[in-house]
Chains A and B, each alone.
Chain A
Amino acid sequence: MAAEPGLLSGRLALGWLIGGEWRFHPARFLTTAIAIAVGVALGFAVHLVNGSALASFDGAVRGVNGAAELSVTATSPLGIDERLYPQVLQGAGVADASPVVRLDARIGGNRLTLLGLDVIRAAAVTPSLVGIPPQGPASSSDGVFDESSLFLSRTALERSRLAIGDRVTVTANGRNVPLRVVGTLPAAEADAAIGVIDIAAAQWRFERIGRIDRIDLSLSNRRTAEEALAQLLPADAILSTAQARGAQGSALSRAYRVNLDMLALVALLTGGFLVYSAQSLSVARRQRAFALLRTLGMPRRAVVAAVVVEGVVIGIVGGATGLAAGYGLAWSALHWFGGDLGAGYFGGTAARIVFQPAAAAGFFALGLIAAVLGSAVPARAAARAAPAAALKNAGDVLDPRRAVAWWPAAVLLAAGGGAALLPATGGLPLFGFLGMALMLAGGVAGVPWFARSLLAPLARRRGGSVPAMLAIRHLHGAPGEAATALCGIVASTALMIAMATMVTSFRGAVDTWLGQVLGADLYLRANAGASFDPATRAHLAATPGVDRLAFSRQLPLTIAADRPPISLIARPERGGRDPLLVLVERTSSLPASALPVWVSEPAQRLYGWDPGETIILPIAGRTRFTVAGVWRDYGRQAGAVLVDEADYQRLTGDTGRDEVSATLQPGSDATAVGKAMTARLPGALRGQVDVTQPAVLRRLALTLFDRSFAVTYLLEAVAILVGLAGVAATMSAQTIAREREFGMLRHLGLTRGQLGAMLATEGAVVGLTGALAGIGLGLVLAQVLIHVINPQSFNWTMTTRVPLGTLFGVAAALTGASAATAVLAGRRATATGAVQSVREDW
């Protein structure tokens, strides 16, 4: 290469080359930059929203926990025996201990966490939970030990529209208790809705005598304390650290967040393909210019450099625009939809946006890389072309007679399939995503082969209309161009179809499941800790029109400190009395002496509880259960276990029930019976019980489902729009570049109408080919989503349902869009006189 002049001396020529290209085709440059910007913006926005939501969720968790470094926590809302408290306080390594009664409470319709504290202990251990009463000589209303004194965090105060001095009724554990707001919690976490009362008042007024829920600790020696406490703790208590509590909060939403991040990256990937298509075309069009420069002495590297520099500029412009747009998008998403983007993971906490410089840099870099790679690949191809040949022939560099190799695609697809079979790492389906990426790459790599195989029989066919024949021959004869246009289409279509198939399957599975589990005619649910005592239950069962009532109890149960609590459900279950349980697996035989437990599918996958196994649950100490079956559950992602009502009551002594499913006598009116049942409730309970019919519940569940996938739909739509924009850009660029060809065809006698028909056919064939390849690849990717990503992320399984309507729609839209853009662009290219067109370049 020593004979070739250096890059620097080619500067001027390069400047002309790049500058000229951009002056004449600003729209092309803009489109590619926008494609990158959209990808970066989506990725960054999703990441920011997730990060902000998580930060505020964390804050709320910390707020309620008062940032104690270590806590002894009850495994269920049944609490722990308060007599553990003096033992813990006097344990080795423990400097101080603050007992806490924790209740989910309401003031009117506003939820808050009500904490019963010993203000003296809390002042030393969790000072942020201690309220300072208003100071001043005139004040005489602030007894910190007074049973009616309530301190509210700023958030709780504002949500309930209360002021200091107001009297309020607080509802928790089924009791309505009048309290007086005597002060705020100025040091409490800003986002947390907390109320604090005296611990003795909490036990008495909310009927928790003898029980506490948590003991917050401050430590003089952590190691000693952890060892000493491990000896001391009963089975219904668990030692939990601040980190574990954070992990517990983020565990539930982690898979959802990672999946959204991945989805956003898909948009970026599609943007990269778009850059690739556009740059390929631009390079193809400038093939002769490059060749000329090469013959004039420009080094090969300079050609590559020229195109890559363009990519860099596209990447920088697109990336920067994308970051700004992403920040704006995240802000408005948080503002309008909340931190979980409607999925309900961070219920009740308002998120504030947290800028993340590292993430910003990361997404900018990804955008830049996508743009540079999208440019470098065609640039290398252009530089490889022999200058002399390229100078003469501006056409396709691929020889249509040579067969396209199919094996790289096959290898990539096989590797992807293999990767998808690997298990999850750290609870995340990382190999699943890797597999999807490999399969996507394989699919795109296989596009030229697929297009050729599809077109070859058509091209051999004789007869038919002239425009159609011309179109087919053109596509067959210039396979490189067609393949380039197809890459973007195939990639975005495949991902979109994969997502759509997965969501359809999931929604169908949930719908079927809801139909199976909502088999009763009427549902009653007590909220804010209220419950139906045995007398009320007997009274309810005697309501005219009621055939049978099934009462159940649902409680969160903590199995591990760093995992979200599972749901413990107690229901009449022994002897198969409940037909509503949809079992996916069951044990063949259960020992008569064993206590049966039915675990939900997520619980089975999370904790490895298989049918027939003996497991230990922290119910009434440590109780051994035998897994009698596994049931399908899409409702509780953290897992659930179901025990028989009688077993539960015998073990815990808890006679309360909080849910009723009623089977009515034939011919009774559900609404009327619901009213009659409400009327039979004791007065204190009446306002705290919701009566719903299965249709309403089902609608509610599906609405929730759709809302949680709303972002998914949005991201999908954007991906497909980017893909369509890519198709349009590619088709129009290709068409415009063929001006001379059209001139010649006009000379040969083709009418403008025939030219239009030819272009429309070309466009339609390209679009259809892309759609077919994309849909095929998408259906394969959907299998990875359904059978790998979903079970590994959310621990539930489903069967595939193909959204045929969407498939046809996408195929039609793609075909139509590419045909339409080809015709529109062709109109411009054929507008100039035929003679002029032919003359121009010869």
Chain B
Amino acid sequence: MRNALSGWLALVAVAAPAAVPYPVVRPGITLAFPADHGAHPGFRTEWWYVTGWLRTAAGEDLGFQVTFFRTRPPVDAANPSRFTARQVVFAHAALSDPATGRLLHGERAARVGFGLARARTGDADIGIRDWRLRRTPDNRWTTQIFANDFALALDFRPTQPPMPQGLAGYSRKGPRPEQASYYYSIPHLRVAGRVRRGDRIVPVTGEAWLDREWSSDYLAPQAEGWDWTGLNFDDGSALMAFRIRRKGGGTLWAGGALRRPDGITTPLGPRDVAFRPLATWRSGATGAVYPVSQEVSIRVDGRIARWRLTPMFAAQELDARRGGLPVYWEGAVRTPGGRGYLELTGYNQALRM
């Protein structure tokens, strides 16, 4: 589960849903690869979301995220213009460097047409101008990102099969069954590549997590935002947990999954997941207060397991409003026996999707 779109995405999404027949997400599908790595252009929104920890040869830790969103605005399909915004692609990338305590980020957006942006079907290949994320036939994922302050050229090699979320890939997000998405993750991706900060290019290795999700009706109107985490444990197990917060407080929905090293996956329902804030950080830029350190508890087989998430550093807020995305917190976190990312949305302003 992923993402943080509002801005354009919200504008696109709320307008005249009746005019465009978006497919509805229903249970009972079977994910098929590599087709489901590729785009599902009928759905309103979709994303490819890679987060992970990197280590340089000098032993420095870095966090990174590379995100591509695809949306289908409610435009008239009869428009013969090449500019028609049949599909719009947004991308976002960030690099967390604990040495500076700062987050570098960059963004791109474009409507398809004129070959400037693409989101192919059949297999993963999505890009805007020179930014790109794709899967090669030898099952390697690769990305190139060129922002002002930094650049990423990373390869991701899966070490485990994809991990369908919810009911075989049908992941419910709210009280109504159509408030849901198709969702799978690929945890434990082995990373190799290069990172440029300023003019300095260093080789890196590390471990990442890919989230793939597509939906037409993601967020219930009474939802404010969500907390999400995806953790790669050193023993090869993986945990995804989220909760959707209700406007005015409380939890509207929750869910997740735990996959053991042997491949056995336990889906987690709304009663099986809890988030407890341990420490907050107030953003000087936006004034938003984020619970950057949380305790995640899940109930598996009648027992409660708890993990304490500690951020790499506190200031991992992203103000992506210029690029049509909202203000949110997306940070590298540590936990005993594992590492991953924590995403906190809707803390500055309620999200609309």
Contacts and interface: CB of A to CB of B under 8 A. Distances in A.
A binds B: yes
A578 interface: no
A204 B74 contact: no
Contact of A133 (B11, B73, B83, B129): B11
Interface in B4-21: 8, 11-12, 14-16
Nearest to A220: B148
B81 A143 contact: no
For B15, B73, B75, the residue with the greatest tally of chain A CB atoms inside 10 Å of its CB is B15
Contacts of A200: 75, 79, 81-85
For B12, B111, B324, the residue with the greatest tally of chain A CB atoms inside 10 Å of its CB is B111
B8 A120 contact: yes
Given A86-B116, A123-B324, A145 B85 contact: yes
A137 B350 contact: yes
Interface size class of A (residues with CB under 8 A): 20 to 34
Given A137-B350, A142-B15, A86 B114 contact: yes
B200 interface: no
A123 B74 CA distance: 20
Nearest to B73: A145
A85 interface: yes
Interface in A563-587: none
A243 to B, nearest CB: 27
14 contacts: A86-B115, A86-B116, A118-B83, A119-B8, A141-B15, A142-B14, A143-B14, A143-B15, A143-B16, A144-B8, A145-B75, A146-B15, A199-B81, A204-B79
Contacts of B109: 120
A652 interface: no
A204 B88 CA distance: 19
Given A120-B109, A120-B324, A140-B14, A147 B76 contact: yes
Given A86-B116, A120-B324, A200-B84, A144 B79 contact: no
A453 B88 CA distance: 89
A140 B73 CA distance: 14
A147 B75 contact: yes
A387 interface: no
Interface string A110-144: 00000000111101000000000100010011111
A123 B16 CA distance: 23
A143 B352 contact: no
B322 interface: yes
B270 to A, nearest CB: 24
A199 B75 CA distance: 12
A143 B116 contact: no
Interface string B108-130: 01110011100000000000010
Nearest to A119: B8
Nearest to A208: B81
A779 interface: no
Interface in A132-164: 133, 137, 140-147
B217 to A, nearest CB: 14
A89 B85 CA distance: 18
Contacts of B83: 82, 99, 118, 198-200, 203
For A119, A144, A200, the residue with the greatest tally of chain B CB atoms inside 10 Å of its CB is A200
Contacts of A86: 114-116
Interface in A411-429: none
Given A89-B116, A200-B84, A143 B79 contact: no
Given A118-B111, A137-B350, A90 B11 contact: no
A293 to B, nearest CB: 79
Nearest to B117: A120
For A145, A146, A147, A198, the residue with the greatest tally of chain B CB atoms inside 10 Å of its CB is A145
Contacts of A82: 82-83, 114
A146 B129 contact: no
A144 B11 contact: yes
A772 interface: no
B14 A201 contact: no
A83 interface: yes
A82 B81 CA distance: 10
B80 interface: yes
A422 B8 CA distance: 62
Given A85-B114, A86-B114, A120-B88, A142 B11 contact: yes
A704 interface: no
Given A123-B322, A137-B352, A146 B16 contact: yes
A405 interface: no
Given A137-B350, A142-B11, A203-B81, 8 more contacts: A86-B115, A120-B111, A133-B11, A140-B14, A144-B12, A201-B79, A204-B81, A209-B80
B129 A143 contact: no
B114 A146 contact: no
A431 to B, nearest CB: 53
Interface of B: 8, 11-12, 14-16, 73-76, 79-85, 88, 109-111, 114-116, 129, 322, 324, 350, 352
Contacts of B73: 143, 145-146
A211 B116 CA distance: 18
Contacts of A83: 114
A89 B128 CA distance: 12
Contacts of B85: 145, 198, 200
A118 B80 CA distance: 16
Nearest to B114: A86
A147 B12 CA distance: 12
A146 B110 CA distance: 16
Nearest to A120: B109
A86 B76 CA distance: 23
Nearest to B72: A145
A-B CB proximity, top 7 nearest: A143-B15, A145-B73, A200-B83, A86-B114, A200-B81, A203-B81, A200-B84
Contacts of B129: 89-90
A89 B109 CA distance: 13
A837 B75 CA distance: 100
Nearest to B14: A140
A137 B6 CA distance: 12
Contacts of B116: 86, 89
A145 B88 contact: yes
For B80, B85, B115, B116, the residue with the greatest tally of chain A CB atoms inside 10 Å of its CB is B85
Contacts of B76: 147
A146 B14 contact: no
Interface in A72-106: 82-83, 85-86, 89-90, 99
Nearest to B74: A143
Contacts of A204: 79-81, 84
B305 to A, nearest CB: 37
Nearest to A203: B81
A204 B80 CA distance: 7
Contacts of B14: 140, 142-143
Contacts of A142: 11, 14-15
Contacts of A145: 12, 73-75, 85, 88, 111
A232 to B, nearest CB: 15
Nearest to B116: A86
A496 B229 CA distance: 86
Contacts of A118: 83, 111
A329 to B, nearest CB: 47
Contacts of A146: 15-16, 73-75
A133 B16 CA distance: 15
Contacts of A144: 8, 11-12
A102 to B, nearest CB: 14
A120 B110 contact: yes
Contacts of A143: 11-12, 14-16, 73-74
B76 to A, nearest CB: 6
Contacts of B84: 200, 204
A141 B76 CA distance: 16
Contacts of B88: 120, 145
Contacts of B111: 118, 120, 145
Contacts of B110: 120-121
A209 B11 contact: no
Contacts of A133: 11
